[in-house]
Structure 1
């Protein structure tokens, strides 16, 4: 399914606003989201693997 190209000025403006929103809001939040995902994975991994990371490994 092809994405239609914006033809009217309003559609072009909406695309521009969406791109600016993505650059200013979504992109700066990516490290936070990735840190959350990695933290959750590490939490489960530490519980599953016997003798996982200790407090000394974190420091």
Structure 2
């Protein structure tokens, strides 16, 4: 849980994904994350949901 539950009236949720340095696994995971973001964007009941992807290579 973040230190602040809401920012500007929006709830915050974070998902952390850790992967081995396997190029095939990274590519597949990236594809699944982007598909999930598109799915959220395309559903009427989820129009107010924002998905931000932040990649930290370390």
Fold similarity call, TM over 0.5: no
Q: Which protein has the bigger helix share?
A: 1
- Between 1 and 2, higher relative CO (CA 8 Å, sep ≥ 6) is seen in 2
Q: TM-score, normalised by structure 1?
A: 0.36
Q: TM-score, normalised by structure 2?
A: 0.37
Q: Which protein has the bigger strand share?
A: 2
